[in-house]
Structure 1
Amino acid sequence: MPAADVLEGTASNPLALPSNLCTASLFTVLCDFLYPVRMGQFPHVSIANIDHWEAVLKATAALQMEDTQQYILQKLQEDAPNIKSNAARILRLALDYDDNSISNLLFGALFVLAYRCQPISPTENVILGEKAITLVNYTRESVRCCFFLGKAKAKIQTNTSCDKENCKTAIFRKIIANMQTRPPPNRVVRDL
């Protein structure tokens, strides 16, 4: 090996990984991908275990295991219908791995965050970061604008048994009500 070789990952200059990427569980998972018990049988990847898979993805990035990384991202994308409870983390992950092949994750998480009634929580703000929270807020405003301007009302399909205009108006009002958060009821605090 040439003495001037300063590439990380050589015998004289080993690859330095952060301690959080050097755990036994991460090593075991990576070995399960490198040396599967059966050819082509890899660990089950699901959004329900996003904490675990985020750490594995960071390790695959640090170790330049692009194929393993793509496999995990693809499996997460296949599990996109289960995004709801982890929408902020999934959006953050999709933006971190800026890859067109995982657009279902990005759009699925953005859809959940844009259409739900609740505002983005402080915890979700921290998870998302500035770029993602800006994207979410812009999308939420665009969606709400569409409803508040009445553009969506014309597209509402109603049952033939009800008065079209009255039904559309009632449905439209309910949609708007569902998109607004309500403050908790006022509680009177009295000094004892």
Structure 2
Amino acid sequence: MLSPDQNAALSELEAHPNWPLRLCAVTDELGEFVIDPDLFYTPGAANERDAKKVCLSGCPVLAACRAYALGGSGWWESDGVWGGMTADERRAERRAQKKRRARLARQGDKRPQPTENWEPSPAQASLLQALAEQPDLRAAAETMKRPYPNVRWVYAQMCEQLGFHSDELTVPALLEEAAKRISGERPSGPELEAAA
């Protein structure tokens, strides 16, 4: 049985305008599922990999599904592949979110100093290109054929060089900030604006 908070979050996900178009529920002309829905709950690395491929193949509700599965206060989806993430990956992400909240409580909004005359390294340029095609770090890792932790590290380094913590920029915001810096705009941010 779902908690009231989880039930409300699930209702919100199901109200997403693209919910009927989600890739995990595509049907053929007879109304039969093209992909067995059990795939998303069948244990095993191969099944999880196949389920994640479905999610990361351009599912229109990927971000909303992932946000739902990561849960709220006191609940989260503890089984299956949701939003391109396994239960173990969601568990790790929830731990990372907890660390981010703790960091913010300790440091407040103090940001790293942006690198003057920043230009992306070859690894950062590859990541920016992959993120431009599909704004999701896990999908970018698959596209780049690189381990997710390595891609996450490149992302974090790039965020810091741009003057942000990696947990405060969304992928679209990173792409926008990187494009500004590549085009020659000076770094922006509260500390720099205050100094001007």
Please indicate, yes or no, whether the TM-score normalized by the shorter chain is above 0.5.
Answer: no
* TM-score, normalised via structure 1 length: 0.33
Which has the higher Rg, Structure 1 or Structure 2? 1
